[in-house]
Amino acid sequence: MHELALAQEIVDVVGERSGGAPVTRVVLEVGKLAAVSADALRFCFDLAAEDTVARGARLEIVETPGLARCRACRADVMLEQPYGRCACGASDLQWLSGDSLRILEMEVA
C-alpha cells in the first residue's frame, strides 16, 4: 500500500505550494506502468487530506499509456503491463512513456 505514502507526499506538496489557501482540485498524471493503483491512490488521498488544506479536494488522475520501443527492430510497442513482447519476438523494450507519477496542477480557492 505504497499509495498511502504517495498520497501523503501529494498532500504535503500541494499544501506547501498553496500558501495556506484551500486546495479544491489536484490533477495527477499516472502512467499505466507506474505501479500505482488509481483507486487505492484516490482512497488514500482522501484520508491523507483530512485535517489539511486539501480536505475535500477532488483528485483527478490522467492516465498516460504505456509505450515502448523495441531494442531489436526499433518498432513502437504499446504496453498494458510492465513487460511485453514486440511483434518481432523480442522482449527487450525501452520504455518511452507510461511510468510517470507527477502532480500536474492544482486549483486553490
Q: Which residues bind other proteins (CB under 8 A)?
A: 1-2, 4-6, 9-10, 13-14, 17-18, 21-22, 24-25, 28, 35, 56-58, 81-83, 85, 91-93, 101-109
Q: Please say which residue, 16 or 76, places its beta carbon nearer to other proteins.
A: 16
Shortest distance, CB of residue 103 to other proteins, whole angstroms? 4
Shortest distance, CB of residue 105 to other proteins, whole angstroms? 5
- Cα torsion for 16, 22, 24, 27, to the nearest 10°? -10
CA distances from 6 to 70, 92, 107 (A): 31, 29, 19
Q: Please say which residue, 35 or 78, places its beta carbon nearer to other proteins.
A: 35
Q: Please say which residue, 2 or 74, places its beta carbon nearer to other proteins.
A: 2
For residue 54, count other CB atoms closer than 10 A to its CB: 28
The count of residues in the chain is 109
Shortest distance, CB of residue 9 to other proteins, whole angstroms? 6
Shortest distance, CB of residue 10 to other proteins, whole angstroms? 6
Q: Please say which residue, 9 or 76, places its beta carbon nearer to other proteins.
A: 9
CA-based Rg of the chain, rounded to a whole angstrom?
17
DSSP-H helix ranges across the chain: 2-18, 38-49
Bridge partners of residue 80, in order along the sequence: none
